Structure 1
Amino acid sequence: MSVPDASIIALAGASGDLGGRIAKALVERGASVLALVRPGLEADEGRRIESTGATLVEADPADLTAMAQACTGATCVVSALNGVRSVMIDRQTVLLEAAVRAGVPRFIPSDYSADFTKTRPGDNRNFDLRREFMALADRAPIKVTSILNGAFMDMLGAEMPIIRPTIHRVLYWHDADQPLDFTTKDDAAAYVAAAAMDEATPRILRIAGDVVSARDIAAVMTDVTGERYQTLWAGSIGMLGAMIAATKIIVPSSDAAFPPWQGMQYMRDQFSGRGKLEPLDNERYSKLQWTTVAGLMKTRE
């Protein structure tokens, strides 16, 4: 790993949950963080970003010239943008082109997810957008590194409600022993920060704070709560696909990043094994510590 003497990182999306964590992790590593924000940002939001140690740099995200000027001098541009096509393709493409125009040597796109390079086109809208942007990025004259971290572990029991405390069950589709990749947002942010300051990153880095099956999660919950949890078959992958199709009829389109059917698409890619991350690059930065599902659940008790 090669770390530049003065790491200046331009970060888009610092106002978001993951982006704020990345900003904090970068500052903790000694980087100078330029948080790219829209002109006229709300004062409270600006103060929240500045509390991470980042410096606010205003630029219209649709103005290529302004964005290039904002990125000038950076050693890497990191995207933590989140949304649908208008953000993941349109806005992120301006960010990529701005980095190229400013002569920034490296770019990390907002690809934080399961391994969409191995999933089927058309199965997952958000993965399709990432796949489309990857093709654009690979044609740009800049070094690009995608970081794939599986599902965010923080979502277990909330946005990913497979843990059902009221009935002491852990839901699964297809196979209770299918390995699932999880990484907390803080651990992912710490890894992104390390990679942003590493001049020798490969095209893709794959990480997972923990790899567990539904059966493993049931055992964890039994141990943490002292109450017996068991797995509960929710259906086959085909049945899950039918549920997704039916839900999309009820909610045919959405500008939200995670409508109900989108979360179900993520679960299909996980439980089918198509989005499985391997090999893992957890050991690339040896000082990082990883949160396990058991460790996270203990903090919730």
Structure 2
Amino acid sequence: MKKTILVAGATGSLGNKICSELIKRGADVRAIVRMATDFEKIETLKNLGIEVIEIDLTDHDEIVNVCANIDCVVSALAGLGDVIIDLQKRLLDGALQAGVPRFIPSDFCTDYNDLLPGENRNFDLRRQFKMYLDSSSIQASSIFNGAFADILKYNTPILNLKDKSIGYWGEKADWKLDFTTMDNTAAFTAEVALDDNAPRNLQIASFQVSPNMIWADVKVATDQEFRMQELSSLEDFAQIIKKQRADNPAGEAELYAKWQQAQYMYSMFSTHHYQLFNQRYKNIDWTTGLDYISSFVK
């Protein structure tokens, strides 16, 4: 039987791709967007065959109405506490009242369950919503994709194309980092949304690669040998991040403040995925580390 999936955050890059993957799989897809959302973004969704519904996301009754006869709500929302906690709570409350059986929260990140609270501001927001979600009766599935592979393109310390260096913390040159492309994340999310038996937590990674493995892939792709460097101990890195945060209080209102970006790096070297669910669905073509790095490193 054809399933009807409601997507929140569909105008974002990931949300748009999730909608497209759901359409490919024959789902009936509805996207809720804020009032006065950019016309071009709405038209892009409509051209995919998606029903776009503009609602007041502060109005509980409107959320309940749009959740009627929905099989699963997918949240691809991005933001701070007003979105990840407050808006997702309103979305969940509306889904529960409408009788929606399943909910996928916006947990598209490293699996924070084994991390200490306080180490990552954005993970803490998700952790707070998770407590609310798990206290409800709805069947939830969180998708943990590690880091989006795109960050490898942005000259972070892990791979800096400008100075031809590869950095790591805490003597972890062989520590495997979890990266997933946005396309792979979207395809997997679509499969989970249509899978009534999906488990609570699903860890995925297009590829797991250590700094030493990144060095080797860059060597194959370019025949260049980048400089490897240990940047500091993890303990020193944690203290540096705390000072950055204390010195930049304005960053508390920024989604990706500089210290928040550093917190993501710290988390990547503090935990990684031990049980991947990549093979749960057979029709996803997972991108390899070498293929991805070769696509942009020259």
TM-score, reference length from structure 2: 0.96
Q: Tell me which residue corresponds to 1:260.
A: 258
Q: For residues 82 and 97 of structure 1, what CA distance do their matches in structure 2 show?
A: 18
Q: For residues 56 and 144 of structure 1, what CA distance do their matches in structure 2 show?
A: 24
How far does residue 293 in structure 1 lie from its aligned partner after superposition?
A: 2.1
Q: Tell me which residue corresponds to 1:270.
A: 268
Task: Answer whether contact 1:152 1:183 (CA < 8 A) is retained.
Answer: yes
Q: For residues 15 and 7 of structure 2, what CA distance do their matches in structure 1 show?
A: 8
| 2:169 equivalent among 173, 185, 196 | 173
| 2:144 equivalent among 129, 145, 148 | 148
Unmatched tracts of structure 2, length 5 or more? none
Aligned partner of 1:199: which letter? D
How far does residue 168 in structure 1 lie from its aligned partner after superposition?
A: 2.2
Cα deviation 1:45-72 (Å, max 9, x = unaligned): 2112223321101221111110111111
The more displaced of 257-266 and 46-55 is 46-55
Aligned partner of 2:264: which letter? Y
Moved over 4 A (4+): none
Q: For residues 294 and 52 of structure 1, what CA distance do their matches in structure 2 show?
A: 31
| 2:8 equivalent among 5, 12, 37 | 12
Over aligned residue pairs, what C-alpha RMSD do you find?
Answer: 1.3
Compared CA separation, residues 126 and 159, structure 1 to 2 (3 A): farther
Q: For residues 185 and 251 of structure 1, what CA distance do their matches in structure 2 show?
A: 30
Task: Answer whether contact 1:8 1:34 (CA < 8 A) is retained.
Answer: yes
Alignment of 1:121-270 (within 5 A): 121-158=117-154, 160-174=156-170, 175-252=172-249, 253-270=251-268
Q: Tell me which residue corresponds to 1:49.
A: 45
How far does residue 141 in structure 1 lie from its aligned partner after superposition?
A: 1.5
TM-score, reference length from structure 1: 0.95
Q: Tell me which residue corresponds to 1:68.
A: 64
Task: Answer whether contact 2:155 2:161 (CA < 8 A) is retained.
Answer: no
Task: Answer whether contact 2:237 2:266 (CA < 8 A) is retained.
Answer: yes
Confirm or deny that 1:95 pairs with 2:91: yes
How far does residue 256 in structure 1 lie from its aligned partner after superposition?
A: 2.1
Q: For residues 179 and 69 of structure 1, what CA distance do their matches in structure 2 show?
A: 45
Cα deviation 1:184-219 (Å, max 9, x = unaligned): 011000000000001111111111110110110011
| 1:109 equivalent among 85, 93, 105 | 105
How far does residue 159 in structure 1 lie from its aligned partner after superposition?
A: 7.0
Percent of paired sites with the same residue: 38
SS at match of 2:114: coil
Q: For residues 161 and 59 of structure 1, what CA distance do their matches in structure 2 show?
A: 41
Q: For residues 255 and 193 of structure 2, what CA distance do their matches in structure 1 show?
A: 25
Q: For residues 127 and 167 of structure 1, what CA distance do their matches in structure 2 show?
A: 30
Paired residues, what number? Answer: 295
Q: For residues 220 and 285 of structure 1, what CA distance do their matches in structure 2 show?
A: 27
Aligned partner of 2:70: which letter? A
